[in-house]
Amino acid sequence: MNPTITAFERSPDRGKGLARDMRVRWALEETGQSYDVRLVSFEAMKQPAHLALHPFGQIPTYEEGDLVLFESGAIVLHVAEHRAGLLPDDANARARAIAWMFAALNTVEPPILELVTAKILEGDKPWAAERLPLVKDRIRNRLQQLSDRLGDAGWLDGAFSAGDLMMVHALLRLKPSGILDEYPNLSAYVARGEARPAYRRAFDAQWTVFAAASSAGSP
């Protein structure tokens, strides 16, 4: 039986593949696992039926038989541990790939999300203009370190892994800011991720949802 994931009925990213169901879709595509999607509205996410799956009333969730998971990192790790294609067989290499997943979520993504907060939620505050350069500097600091480590390698640690999947998706959020372009090897790294057939299939699937919602004229 296919696992079922949840995704936005109408994503606020307008089909750019930035919502976190994209990570789960991409992981499932990389491992050749077909899946079903249940679309949820913002209102439905806060109702008891969805809160029973996700304590914070968010997407994505993952249901497979008796198992219910939330948190995109935990879901991708579960998929990677149960299907071939996202984690190396060698135990040490596997542990390092998982470390890169945590690095993406806990070390690289937080300053990137701070930029989203600074621009969207705090953009109209009197101190916003003063804070923005500080936030951007924190991102540049992390990106420089990541860029130094990646060097001219294709992926972070040998073959493409779940660590790269999470890192590429976290970095994608930076694209509109132009900051990623300051690090040509990281831009190329992200482009390599986006060029993977599994990424394309996942992207097209979430785009189709957005396009259908738009043509149906839902709010």
169 binds ligand GTB (CB under 6 A): no
Residue 107 C-beta: closest distance to ligand GTB, Å: 14
Which of the stretches 15-23, 96-104, 195-203, 208-216 binds ligand GTB when contact is defined by CB under 6 A?
15-23
For residues 175 and 187, what is the distance between their CA atoms, to the nearest angstrom? 9
72 binds ligand GTB (CB under 6 A): yes
Return the HEC string of the chain. Answer: CCCEEEEECCCCCCCCCCCCHHHHHHHHHHCCCCCEEEEECHHHHCCHHHHCCCCCCCCCEEEECCEEEECHHHHHHHHHHHCCCCCCCCHHHHHHHHHHHHHHHHHHHHHHHHHHHHHHHCCCCCCHHHHHHHHHHHHHHHHHHHHHHHCCCCCCCCCCCHHHHHHHHHHHCCHHHCHHHHCHHHHHHHHHHHHCHHHHHHHHHHHHHHHHHHHCCCC
Q: Is the dihedral of CA 148, 79, 25, 45 positive or negative?
A: negative
171 binds ligand GTB (CB under 6 A): no
13 binds ligand GTB (CB under 6 A): yes
20 binds ligand GTB (CB under 6 A): yes
6 binds ligand GTB (CB under 6 A): no
Q: Which of 4, 10, 18, 44 binds ligand GTB (CB under 6 A)?
A: 18
71 binds ligand GTB (CB under 6 A): yes
Residue 68 C-beta: closest distance to ligand GTB, Å: 13
Our CB check for ligand GTB shows the closer of 71 and 157 to be 71
**Cβ count near 154 (within 10 Å):** 12
12 binds ligand GTB (CB under 6 A): yes
Residue 177 C-beta: closest distance to ligand GTB, Å: 12
Our CB check for ligand GTB shows the closer of 43 and 89 to be 43
47 binds ligand GTB (CB under 6 A): no
Our CB check for ligand GTB shows the closer of 53 and 97 to be 53
59 binds ligand GTB (CB under 6 A): yes
Chain residues that interact with ligand GTB, rule: CB under 6 A: 12-13, 18-20, 42, 45, 57-60, 71-73
